[in-house]
Amino acid sequence: MSEVDVKVENLVKRFGSKIAVNNISFEVNKGDFFSVLGPSGCGKTTTLRMISGFEAPTSGKIWVGGEPMEGVPPHKRKTNLVFQNLALFPMMNVFDNIAFGLVMRGEPKKKIREEVFHMLEVINLPGYENKRINQLSGGEKQRVAIARALVLHPTVLLLDEPLGALDLKLREHMKIELKKIQARIGTTFIYITHDQGEALVMSNKIAVMNAGKIQQIGSPDDLYYDPANSFVAQFVGENNLIEGKIADISGDEVIMEIDKYKLVGRKGKGINKGGKANLFIRPEMIHLYMEKEKPDVKINIFSGVVRSVIFEGQVTRYEVETDNGLNIDVSVPNISKANLQKVESKVWIAWDKENAIVLPPQKIESGILE
Region of poorest pLDDT, from 121-130, 167-176, 185-194, 300-309: 167-176
Average pLDDT along the chain: 91
Task: Look at residue 294 in the predicted model and tell me its pLDDT.
Answer: 87
pLDDT for 77: 94
Banded pLDDT at 225 (limits 50, 70, 90): very high
Model confidence band, residue 2 (pLDDT cutoffs 50, 70, 90): low
**pLDDT tens, residue by residue, 235-250:** 999 999 999 999 999 9
Q: Average pLDDT of 146-158?
A: 92
What domains appear along the chain, each with residue ranges and CATH number?
Answer: 4-227 (3.40.50.300), 238-359 (2.40.50.140)
Q: Which pLDDT score, from 0 to 100, does residue 369 have?
A: 42
* pLDDT tens profile 328-358: 999 999 887 767 889 999 999 999 999 999 9
Q: What is the pLDDT of residue 368?
A: 46
Indicate if the pLDDT at residue 370 is higher than 50. no
> How many CB atoms neighbour CB 349 within 10 A?
23
* pLDDT tens digits along 16-59: 999 999 999 999 999 999 999 999 999 999 999 999 999 999 99
Res. 362 pLDDT band, cuts 50 70 90: confident
Which pairing describes strands 156-160 and 4-15: parallel, antiparallel, or unpaired?
unpaired
- Which whole number is the average pLDDT over 198-223? 96
Q: In this predicted structure, what is the pLDDT of residue 357?
A: 97
**pLDDT band per the 50, 70, 90 thresholds, residue 164:** confident
For residue 266, pLDDT beyond 50 = yes
Residue 84 has pLDDT above 50, yes or no: yes
